[in-house]
Structure 1
Amino acid sequence: MTEAPDHRAVLAALPPERRASLTERSDRAGLIHLAGHLGAIVLLGLPVALQLPFWPLFLMPLGIAQVFLFTLSHECTHRTPFRTGWINDAAGHAVSLPLVLPFAWFRAFHLAHHRFTNDPDRDPELEGGPRPGTAGALAWHLTGLPYWWGMAKLVWANARGRLDAPYLPEGRKPAMIREARVLLGLYGLIGLSLLLSPLALWLWIVPALLGQPFLRVYLLAEHGRCPPVADMLENSRTTFASRLTRALAWNMPFHAEHHSYPDVPFPRLPDLHRDLAPHLRTTAPGYPAFARDYAASLPHRAP
């Protein structure tokens, strides 16, 4: 029986001109997509800001649109959504504030995740322990509260210069410390603004809390229940999602494709998918189906 080719073999079989085409970046495509994402946030936020009739109904969709800026931050760590380098960096740093995700730190963290994907000993995504293994742990994880608490502690630690993870380059640590201190200052100003107006509460804090569980499901699908092997076609999951979901997530539901060839920018991932589709080994028919299957596989208590 012939062994299935891994992601390296599949990519090596692509013609050089195809690989060159797949990795072509575009400021225009990136800026149009960014304008659409930010435009959706503004449209969903206006009824809340103006307290229009039924405005509370907009809080959850507003939060979902906000927290999925994570996928833009993620793409910017690879410098792929835009052709111009400084635009990638500016966008990544800009979304640090609403996500509580310091970008300079996240870039180092995420690139280490790509080097050691699903390795239980070296993947930084698993440094706090394995993904939820019981129904109770999953329910707690999906609230998003562990994320917010963990990132608040991380920003505070970074601001104090406590950066000791092995994947953090020494030369970038001063920038990470400055970034964390700027974020703390901005959060302090937001806190003070709440003394004058509840606007930040309703436009950011409450929506972010409501939207985070949807992002947790999305992120859990990327590698949850995938085997700890080196082949990106197997250790990463492609989830077949609607066009709206793919747009919201900057095409990152094509996640096995992204991990197989991280230099491919988000507009070209559907094209890469057509090349890799016959070789994908870990997929899900959608996020609700993934969540149901994941939950059904868990015991109610730890063994």
Structure 2
Amino acid sequence: MSAPQSFSKSDVSIGIDIGAPADAAPLAIDPARLQRQELLRLEREIAARHTGGGMWGYSVAALGGFALWVALFPLTMMGIIPLWIGFVASTVLATGGYVTSHEAMHSNIARKGDPLRWLNELVGQVSTIPLIFPFSMARMMHLQHHYHCNDPERDPDYPDAAPSAWKAIVKTWLNRQPRNGGSIHHYKKILAELDSPASRRAQRDTALLQLAAMAIFFATAWSGHALAVAAVWWLPRHIALSYIRFYLSWAPHHPRTGQGRYGNTKVFKSNLGHVMSMCMETHIIHHLYPSIPNHRTRAAYYEMREILAARGVDVSAL
């Protein structure tokens, strides 16, 4: 990619002689502003090239993954597959489910008014069931995160802030406990402030899904399959939530002091690589252009890298 175009004073003088007397009329256009406008134009051209296209892979992964996850229960309870295989498969499916739901949260599978809008909503709904986190609540909290990123009071993910990676991992577990300062209380505070039909529906959906999950836990344990439900649902859910919180919340936003369009997230290098970090190394692209699908953020980043650097983004990590 060629370096972003720069502008000299004479480029934008609009016919005014730069050697004119001091009392001459000032320039009508600020050169720095013109450069910013050109950078934004180039940035948007790149984003447009990576937006749209087929999203069937997410739908197939979500629906197929959910069907497989449901099948793990009878397969492990009947001894057809060992518990450890059920545990590993369920952990992967629960973690990956957030990626497919994430695309549905931003309506990247189908926008409102699209004939396939029902598929967008279905993908979102089934993807978060293994996490016992209803889609209505997940979408509302995630969009609030975008609106108020790194705001201590209004960003739902702010409780994940921690001074180091290991402390962040521990905190993902502590934040799920019923104590003051954790994610539960922060969510409740934000929902109370929103006080809308959508927020009340999200709270209702959360209560119903949690009650249903608890009923299934108790019923399977009562029938002698406590280990199966623990290995296939309870433990994978907690591991998946910690993994998701670490890579989607802590890693790309640490230390949560950045503000503004180009500062509220960062570029980082994951020890597990781009795919295993759920493509979050280039999470800045998602915050800039949420309509770019998750699997295309890396390519968009490398095309946009020089522009981002000119905007003041630290791109040294990648």
> Do the two structures share a fold, i.e. TM-score over 0.5?
yes
Counterpart in the other structure of 1:66: 94
**Structure 1 residues 129-172: Cα deviation after superposition (integer angstroms, max 9, x where no partner):** x7123788545315x2423658x9959x98xxx97433x36131
Q: Is the 8 A contact 1:63 1:210 kept in 2?
A: yes
Distance 1:190 1:46 in 2: 13
What aligned pairs does 1:72-151 form with structure 2 within 5 A after superposition? 72-82=100-110, 84-126=116-158, 128=159, 131-133=161-163, 137-138=167-168, 140-142=170-172, 144-147=173-176, 149=178
Match of 1:225 among 255, 265, 285: 255
SS state at 2:222 partner: coil
- More off after superposition, 184-193 vs 48-57: 48-57
Quick one: which amino acid aligns to residue 230 of structure 2? L
SS state at 1:123 partner: coil
Q: Is the 8 A contact 1:113 1:124 kept in 2?
A: yes
Distance 2:261 2:183 in 1: 33
Q: Is the 8 A contact 1:112 1:123 kept in 2?
A: yes
**Structure 1 residues 187-221: Cα deviation after superposition (integer angstroms, max 9, x where no partner):** 13312222112332221112233444433431311
Distance 1:194 1:153 in 2: 28
Distance 1:20 1:48 in 2: 46
* Percent identity of equivalent pairs: 19
Distance 1:195 1:113 in 2: 40
Greater gyration radius: 2
In the TM superposition, what is the alpha-carbon distance from 1:116 to its structure 2 partner? Answer: 1.9
SS state at 2:192 partner: coil
SS state at 1:207 partner: helix
Task: Verify: 1:194 aligned to 2:226, yes or no.
Answer: no
In the TM superposition, what is the alpha-carbon distance from 1:11 to its structure 2 partner? Answer: 4.0
Distance 1:147 1:11 in 2: 40
Structure 1 residues 136 and 19: CA distance shift in structure 2, 3 A: closer
**Structure 1 residues 88-138: Cα deviation after superposition (integer angstroms, max 9, x where no partner):** 222222233221223212222221211221233432322x4x712378854
Structure 1 residues 59 and 15: CA distance shift in structure 2, 3 A: closer
Quick one: which amino acid aligns to residue 262 of structure 1? P
Question: RMSD in angstroms over aligned alpha carbons?
Answer: 4.3
TM-score (norm. length: structure 2): 0.66
Match of 1:172 among 175, 198, 217: 198
Structure 1 unaligned regions, length at least 5: 287-303
SS state at 2:299 partner: helix
Structure 1 residues 246 and 96: CA distance shift in structure 2, 3 A: same
Distance 1:40 1:246 in 2: 22
Q: Is the 8 A contact 2:62 2:126 kept in 1?
A: no
Task: Verify: 1:13 aligned to 2:42, yes or no.
Answer: yes
Quick one: which amino acid aligns to residue 179 of structure 1? D
Counterpart in the other structure of 1:289: none
**Higher RCO structure, 1 or 2 (CA under 8 Å, sep 6+):** 1
Distance 2:36 2:130 in 1: 35
Aligned residues: 273
Match of 1:274 among 302, 306, 312: 302
Task: Verify: 1:184 aligned to 2:214, yes or no.
Answer: no
Counterpart in the other structure of 2:293: 265
**Structure 1 residues 254-288: Cα deviation after superposition (integer angstroms, max 9, x where no partner):** 200000111222243233223222225356859xx
Quick one: which amino acid aligns to residue 79 of structure 1? S
Structure 1 residues 25 and 56: CA distance shift in structure 2, 3 A: same
